[in-house]
């Protein structure tokens, strides 16, 4: 009971809310891209992935403070779980496979959220930016390849 009362004394919503908002905002452009492309995961899914991964890291920081191997295990579990979520976005239709970019984007968004949760904002921004740019800038090359396949 005393640890519950001590925890209540440390109840600090605002710092966590700001950190979670950063993760949320970094995921929005990626979710917007996937939504615009009418993919299986979109504008709601990507921010949720980012805040969930960030939140898990934030929630465990007080328990694991000073134990980097414990933090590493949490990150390992979170990223493994992201692989399973991404796997659900991949669909196979005959010889065609769709959803791999969405799956990879979900995984990258999980990494973004984890990086924000760890305080590595520079890494989070770079992951988010490169993911968005990859989806946006490389799309014409993918469509060009599809057109070439149809003419063969």
Query: What mean pLDDT comes out for the span 110-114?
Result: 96
- What global pTM score does this model have? 0.81
Judge whether residue 148 has pLDDT over 60.
no
pLDDT (0 to 100) of residue 152? 47
User: Is 78 exposed, middle or buried, given 0-12, 13-18 or 19+ CB atoms closer than 10 A?
Assistant: buried
H/E stretch holding 107: helix 100-118
* Interatomic CA distance for residues 83 and 36, integer angstroms: 23
Phi, psi at residue 10, to the nearest 5°? -100, 15
């Amino acid at each position: 009971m005393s640890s519950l009362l001590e925890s209540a004394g440390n109840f600090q919503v605002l710092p966590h809310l700001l950190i979670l908002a950063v993760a949320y905002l970094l995921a929005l452009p990626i979710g917007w891209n996937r939504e615009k492309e009418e993919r299986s995961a979109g504008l709601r899914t990507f921010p949720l992935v980012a805040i969930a991964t960030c939140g898990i890291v934030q929630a465990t920081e007080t328990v694991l403070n000073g134990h980097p191997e414990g933090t590493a295990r949490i990150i390992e579990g979170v990223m493994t779980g992201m692989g399973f979520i991404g796997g659900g976005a991949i669909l196979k239709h005959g010889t065609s496979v769709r959803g791999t970019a969405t799956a990879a984007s979900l995984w990258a968004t999980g990494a973004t959220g984890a990086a924000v949760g760890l305080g590595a904002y520079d890494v989070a921004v770079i992951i988010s930016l490169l993911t968005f740019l990859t989806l946006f800038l490389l799309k014409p090359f993918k469509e060009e390849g599809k057109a070439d396949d149809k003419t063969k």
